[in-house]
Structure 1
């Protein structure tokens, strides 16, 4: 079964200091009064999209309405996130907040159009998962050692597909290249789905992807799994080694949650939190997360807010060290 991860005490305590005072509250009346839009700030087919649809299908009936997943991709998940930050705070527009849009973007983008803490009412964490490096099945390198050999033999190194500048997988690729002493050049896409399509077609030889969206392709042989980024091997793909096993001091996870515009009434935020946690506790949902390689994390709104604040602090030096900045 999917493991529920116990929260570090610092997140519980930090929540007291990171909960942001919202604008004057909007009165919640007969909510929901219509469909709820859940914005995925990436193209269809990636991990964020997969997780959003898994939750939306079960959240709607619990709320007595329909939760419609809407993809608004671009600019490393910041376009869709900006849209939601500026939406009416009435509980009918939500976003799949994630490590790219709310953990990395505050340090990466010089002119980010939202504050990852002040402009959102963070509702609930959904899942955490490792990433995986995959290769086109016809690519000559069949293991990470061979990837290193091939990259060193080519003056320009190797290209890798990734779901946008500033995504966690973009930075993971840079970290792997530095640790292995090779050159890897990112090729940016509007989401993991298009990047995976090109990897399968051989347009790019390698890709870094979230494990949940890559698992099916690996099992069907459309791509070859090279290495995962977790602290231990993923149960969903137990034959694939971790970067840590391979001698690289790298452990990295993606995370995904749900957030609303700042000013969303507290009673709506709390109701959403309760229903999302109930969805994640459903046996069928937990089994599906297991199959995809994700792990649920149960958090209150304050705890999720504190978690995001901590992630911003964690990723700031990583972004600075990578030299990656976006205007």
Structure 2
């Protein structure tokens, strides 16, 4: 006898098949975490990215009931650690704690990256973000950003800027400021901030983009003059220093140092949501709030959708800036 399935039977069978196919992911999500979780940080211990990752790990460990360990896999401006996580199993046990340059600058300036960070991860949540100061050496005589623009316009090639390394986010954000102002300065790229700072203070290079914690003691001593905030908000300690947007340079509002958490693409949504809730909870804990404030950062815990949108927007903008600055690897 030939069996003729009814419409109800087809629907019931289809639903059962769908449930069977989805079952492994559901089981994984429900049993997770069953072992220690590793957060990979692509930068050295002791820096801001590492410090935030470790505070977040402690909070997530309490929430999830499993050890959450931080492993530093350094090199290639964070690309080595980032690639390792992208190639890990999407089971919620290997995560990436990132800084902005890894996902949105490195892809445009490196010829060795084998992944597209936009698609290689489930972007869980932002945690913090912060702005930068474009500082001038006291010996330069610049008292304002307009002074810098005038000097660069009147004496092409005479004004130098320094960075802590070629191809990073500080390099790109500095070029963004100069592109917005319509000036072209020659860059000197050092092997780290400790090599840059003596030459900046001695006016061997006239300007440099620096974080607030790095800038503050030299500004207080009169050795550096802050000219411009590159980022989103004025700083209460320097209320007279204009934002890029105040001068009509709206693109500089996107040139922000941010930090966030990611999982390999394909990680079950239930795990992503639990981790996002954990980041939000951690962001309200006093130890993490204190560290964020200490770094002149802002608390910006987000949804996965908000984080993915931010990454895609920054990726496109920073690619345009890199191309215009001659930084692009393509």
TM-score (normalizing by structure 2): 0.72
Give the Cα separation in 2 of the matches to 1:45 and 1:136: 27
Q: In the alignment, is the contact (CA less than 8 A) between 1:55 and 1:276 conserved in 2?
A: yes
In the TM superposition, what is the alpha-carbon distance from 1:127 to its structure 2 partner?
A: 1.9
Instruction: Indicate the residue corresponding to 1:235 in structure 2.
Output: 236
In the TM superposition, what is the alpha-carbon distance from 1:206 to its structure 2 partner?
A: 3.5
CA displacement 1:196-250 (0-9 Å, x = unmatched)? x223322655432344x53655576485533211344123543533334456555
Among candidates 168, 175, 198, match of residue 201 of structure 1: 198
CA displacement 1:67-122 (0-9 Å, x = unmatched)? 32515132x43333122212333433322234322233444445631122321121
Bigger Cα displacement from structure 2, 270-279 vs 139-148:
139-148
Give the Cα separation in 2 of the matches to 1:127 and 1:225: 23
Instruction: Indicate the residue corresponding to 1:89 in structure 2.
Output: 90
Q: Which has the bigger relative contact order, CA under 8 A and spacing at least 6? A: 1
Q: In the alignment, is the contact (CA less than 8 A) between 2:108 and 2:329 conserved in 1?
A: no
Q: CA RMSD in A?
A: 3.5
Give the Cα separation in 2 of the matches to 1:138 and 1:71: 39
In the TM superposition, what is the alpha-carbon distance from 1:272 to its structure 2 partner?
A: 1.6
Question: Would you tell me which structure has more helix in proportion to its own residues?
Answer: 2
Give the Cα separation in 2 of the matches to 1:37 and 1:179: 37
| Compared CA separation, residues 118 and 53, structure 1 to 2 (3 A) | same
Return 5+ residue gaps in structure 1 as ranges: 1-23
Return 5+ residue gaps in structure 2 as ranges: 1-23
Instruction: Indicate the residue corresponding to 1:16 in structure 2.
Output: none
- Aligned structure 1 segments of 4 or more residues deviating by more than 6 angstroms: none
Q: Which has the larger radius of gyration?
A: 2
TM-score (normalizing by structure 1): 0.73
| Compared CA separation, residues 62 and 224, structure 1 to 2 (3 A) | farther
Give the Cα separation in 2 of the matches to 1:132 and 1:120: 31
Bigger Cα displacement from structure 2, 119-128 vs 173-182:
173-182
SS class of match (2:263): strand
Give the Cα separation in 2 of the matches to 1:218 and 1:90: 46
